[in-house]
Amino acid sequence: MKFLLTILTVLTLVACSDNTVPEEEMIELTIEELSVFDGTNGKKAYIAVDGYIYDVTNDPYWRDGIHQGMFQAGQDLSDEILSSPHGKSYLDRVPKIGRLIETPVKDMLSTIASIDGYQSLASLVYSGQISIDFSTYDNLTIFLPSLEAFELTNGFEIPDNFDPNEGFDQLLGDIDLFDVLRYHMVEQTLLLEALRTGSSQIETTTGEFLTITVDGDDVFVNDVLIVESDIIAENGVVHILDGVLVPPSFDLSVTVTFKGLNNKIITTETLEIGDTFTFPTPPSEGGYRFISWDSDITTISEDITITAIYEMIYMTLEELSQYDGQDGANAYIAYNGVVYDVTGNPNWPNGVHRGTFYAGQDITELFQASGAPHGASNITNLPIVAFLQTS
């Protein structure tokens, strides 16, 4: 019996020693790399405790990488294991396979380059097209703007063929990315918790200020939500926004010019991007009928000219004949294809001029043959009502 107990003890010790990989053969994972091994979808299940990594893949208490419905593999559970019923003694039954190492901290530019979607922005800095040297700052917080937001935010003139998937370099020449990015930078290292509990106003590297607001768990910068936070770099931290911050120094004023017939300016208004406006009353134009404006936009995003559209009013000779000035009728005459109103004109009483010219008619030939002493100006200065339709 004593011999049997000795054999069992030896076997147990051997089994325990087989659970530990030799130090020189241990794998090394960062906390980010460890998170991949969460036991889901057939993946290995690893946990970390006190700097070591344990393989719980085949442990019946970690089915699919979950223990007691509370703990998920792929995490550092150093604190959580202290409150478990078995404590650290549990670890003797699972293989110790590696060490948890600190995530190497990168310089600020490399950190930005490692974030999905911001490689093109980093390349502009690397190439000198955006002349910012992040290494000159001892402490720095950068709020990375969303590229998609440039297209939707008032204050930026975006190329017509802009595609957010093609990178920040599309904006060069249209947007001063240097000034925009500097407005997204604060010369302090401010983690999310510091933003949540600290000053509501923080100064940017442009000397302008950002406003920090908190709503529940959400933190906003100038009303733009922080969607990813606390990405650590050597000399600071990066937060990602779901929008873009427009520097106050940007000139957001825009002009809407309303034009009428023959490009005559009706009125000009200076507004700010995003403002709405109302259309003026189109001026009456003799011989023309207002149809519409050539744009129905009411919210302005850039300088714009809106032109009134008119159509010519035509009158046949038969229609003209009804306006002879008799019996209270209006008195119209036609001259060189234009219909003029002589109603109430003292030189055309009851639609007759000097007993020679009669309203309701085309007087072009008769007038020219008469050698009128005052010339055509007496007619062409009259109010226009229509144009003569000759066919």
Residue 122 belongs to a domain with what CATH number?
2.30.180.10
The amino acid at residue 263 is N
- Let me know whether 125 and 64 are in one domain: no
**β-strands 185-186, 357-358: how paired?**
unpaired
CA distance 267 to 236: 52
In whole numbers, what is the pLDDT of the chain averaged over residues? 88
- Let me know whether 115 and 223 are in one domain: yes
CA distance 73 to 136: 40
Residue 141 lies in a domain: yes
- Let me know whether 118 and 234 are in one domain: yes
CA distance 139 to 316: 82
Residue 302 lies in a domain: yes
Residue 292 lies in a domain: yes
Count other Cβ atoms within 10 Å, centred on residue 79.
8
Count each helix (H run) and each strand (E run) in the chain, helices first.
Answer: 10, 23
pLDDT (mean) for 9-25: 56
Count other Cβ atoms within 10 Å, centred on residue 87.
10
How many distinct structural domains can be found in the chain? 4
Contact (Cβ atoms closer than 8 angstroms) between residue 103 and residue 30: yes
CA distance 88 to 84: 8
- Let me know whether 302 and 354 are in one domain: no
If one compares 83 and 154, the residue with the highest pLDDT of the two is: 83
- Let me know whether 166 and 146 are in one domain: yes
- Let me know whether 77 and 142 are in one domain: no
- Let me know whether 94 and 22 are in one domain: yes
Residue 320 lies in a domain: yes
**Total residues found in the chain within this entry:** 391
Residue 205 lies in a domain: yes
- Let me know whether 191 and 171 are in one domain: yes
Last residue of a domain, one of 311, 327, 343: 311
- Tens digit of pLDDT for each residue in 319-366? 999 999 999 999 999 999 999 999 999 999 999 998 889 999 999 998
What percentage of the chain has pLDDT greater than the value 70?
93
> What is the per-residue pLDDT for 12?
35
Confidence of residue 11 (pLDDT cuts 50, 70, 90): very low
The enclosing H or E element of 291 equals: strand 288-293
- Let me know whether 182 and 235 are in one domain: yes
> What is the per-residue pLDDT for 90?
79
Torsion sign, CA atoms 113, 117, 119, 121: negative
DSSP secondary structure of 324-379: BSGGG--BEEEETTEEEE-TT-TTSGGGEETTTEETTSB-HHHHHHHT-TT-THHH
- Let me know whether 150 and 209 are in one domain: yes
- Let me know whether 28 and 147 are in one domain: no
Residue 213 lies in a domain: yes
Query: Kindly report the CA angle at 277 between 254 and 293, in degrees rounded to 5?
Result: 100
Residue 6 lies in a domain: no
- Tens digit of pLDDT for each residue in 107-153? 999 999 999 999 999 999 999 999 999 999 999 999 999 998 887 77
pTM over 0.85: no
Residue 293 belongs to a domain with what CATH number?
2.60.40.4270
Phi, psi of 97 (to 5 degrees): -120, -10
What percentage of the chain has pLDDT greater than the value 90?
65
Last residue of a domain, one of 100, 125, 155: 100
In terms of residue numbers, what domain contains 260?
Answer: 253-311
Residue 189 lies in a domain: yes
Contact (Cβ atoms closer than 8 angstroms) between residue 359 and residue 342: yes
Q: What are the angstrom distances between the C-alpha of 252 and each of 31, 40, 223, 300, 302? A: 45, 51, 18, 11, 9
- Let me know whether 112 and 232 are in one domain: yes
Residue 69 belongs to a domain with what CATH number?
3.10.120.10
Q: Which residues pair with 290 in a beta bridge?
A: 310
Q: Is the confidence at residue 6, as pLDDT, over 50?
A: no
